[in-house]
């Protein structure tokens, strides 16, 4: 396993108000910390039901019917669930649920057991007030890791996937005041996933470069 670390935060001043957004690399690949997932063939699926292949062709699953939904099925989380992403964390080809429980100071992982049903959450400690999270393979082992912005702790936590959908304790990296949104993308072209975090109380955005 390759050991990845992140350098000290580089800060860029911005205006006071912003929201979490989507990043695009120079090949047209998008990275979205609001639930967009990617398969191993370069196909992305956004949270509106539209899929895009790696040639830029789009396919809209909603184009042929007037879709309706059943009533919700609920699954217990911790207190104050504030953010959620869907990603396959145990390698079975099914999208699992990862939720940031802001008032419980943890993230919950609910494994997909088939037919759209999920197991009870397994929790992993974060910093204080995990405000936003994303999922990405940060150490190049082919497993989906968890990256979380801890608002009150003023840091970013990285929880590495150790297999079968289980995770290590978080490693924390300093951010600015009020770490609020987080994204993972290679910003300097070295084929390593870097972290971008917005710092709501510092009025800036921080970039943590990955190295090993």
**Average pLDDT of each block of 10 consecutive residues along the chain (212 residues)?**
55 46 42 44 43 48 80 98 98 98 99 96 99 98 98 99 96 98 98 98 98 88
DSSP 38: E
Q: What pLDDT shows up at residue 165?
A: 92
Q: Which of 85, 86, 90 is nearest to 162 (CA)?
A: 90
DSSP 73-133: ------SSEEEEEEE-SSSSSS-EEEEEETTTTEEEEE-EEETTEEPPPEEEE-SSSEEEE
Tokens, residue 171: 């490693």
Tokens, residue 68: 């309706």
Element (H, E) at 37: strand 37-38
Q: What pLDDT shows up at residue 3?
A: 54
What CA dihedral angle connects 106, 112, 118 and 121, to 10 degrees?
-20
Q: What pLDDT shows up at residue 27?
A: 38
Q: Which of 98, 85, 97 is nearest to 47 (CA)?
A: 85
Q: Which of 205, 212, 211 is nearest to 9 (CA)?
A: 205
For the chain, the distance separating the N- and C-terminal CA atoms, rounded to the nearest angstrom, is: 11
Q: What pLDDT shows up at residue 29?
A: 39
Fold for 5-35+69-211, please state it. Methylamine Dehydrogenase; Chain H (2.130.10)
Q: What pLDDT shows up at residue 104?
A: 99
Full-model pTM = 0.75
Output the CA angle 117-99-173, nearest 5 degrees.
145
DSSP 52: E
Q: How many CB atoms lie within 10 A of CB 208?
A: 23
Q: How far from 154 is each of 80, 195, 210, CA to CA, in Å?
A: 18, 14, 19
Q: How many residues does the chain have?
A: 212
Q: What pLDDT shows up at residue 8?
A: 58
Q: What pLDDT shows up at residue 73?
A: 97
């Amino acid at each position: 396993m390759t050991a990845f670390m992140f350098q000290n935060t580089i800060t860029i001043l911005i205006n006071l108000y912003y929201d979490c957004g989507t990043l695009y690399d120079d090949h047209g690949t998008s990275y979205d910390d609001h639930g967009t997932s990617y398969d191993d063939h370069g196909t992305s699926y956004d949270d509106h039901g539209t899929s895009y292949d790696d040639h830029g062709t789009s396919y809209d699953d909603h184009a042929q019917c007037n879709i309706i939904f059943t009533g919700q099925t609920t699954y217990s989380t911790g207190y104050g669930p504030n953010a959620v992403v869907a990603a396959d964390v145990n390698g079975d080809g099914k999208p699992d649920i990862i939720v940031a429980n802001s008032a419980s100071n943890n993230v919950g992982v609910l494994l997909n057991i088939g037919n759209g049903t999920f197991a009870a959450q397994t929790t992993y400690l974060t910093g204080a007030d995990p405000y936003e999270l994303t999922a990405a393979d940060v150490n190049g082992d082919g497993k989906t890791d968890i990256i979380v912005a801890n608002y009150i702790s003023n840091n970013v936590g990285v929880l590495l996937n150790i297999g079968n959908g289980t995770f290590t304790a978080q490693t924390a990296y300093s951010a600015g005041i009020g770490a609020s949104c987080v994204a993972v993308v290679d910003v300097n072209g070295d084929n390593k996933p870097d972290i971008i975090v917005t710092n709501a109380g510092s009025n800036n955005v921080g970039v943590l470069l990955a190295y090993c």
